[in-house]
Amino acid sequence: MKLKRPKTHVKKGDYVQIITGADKGKKGKILKVIYKKQKVIVENINIKTKHIQPKQEGTIGEIIQRETPIHSSNVMLYSSTHKVASRYKYRISENKIKQKILIKTNEAIT
């Protein structure tokens, strides 16, 4: 039996705006979607610092900064041409192709 993955309203490569939290108002592209936890990793958003200890003798430790996941409900699709975040709806074209359409701008998201 095939298990269904939980649905999210965004996918990898979508351009989104953060609508709540410490990074509210920032924009970025989705790098990864974690479907089981309904979280997304957005480019240059929710940056955390991680200290890594040296593993072997002779190596040095380092401090790295990486993006951490945020819940998918905290992001909204963003139109970079009209500079506005919007909800979406689906429209089926004459060629039977299902597309996401931003409600505020009537722009198709691919």
Instruction: Note the pTM of the prediction, 2 decimals.
Output: 0.85
**Cα gap 89→12, rounded to integer Å:** 18
Q: Could you tell me which residues come within 8 angstroms of residue 102 by beta carbon, excluding any fewer than 6 positions away? A: 77, 79, 86, 87, 88, 109
**What CATH number does residue 43 fall under?**
2.30.30.30
The boundaries of the domain holding residue 42 are 15-51+60-85
* CA-wise closest residue to 10 among 80, 100, 108: 100
Structural domain total, the chain? 1
User: Using one digit for the tens of pLDDT, what is the confidence trace for 65-77?
Assistant: 999 999 999 999 9
What is the tens place of the pLDDT at every residue in 16-59?
999 999 999 999 999 999 999 999 999 999 999 999 999 999 99
- Whether 64 is covered by a domain: the verdict is yes
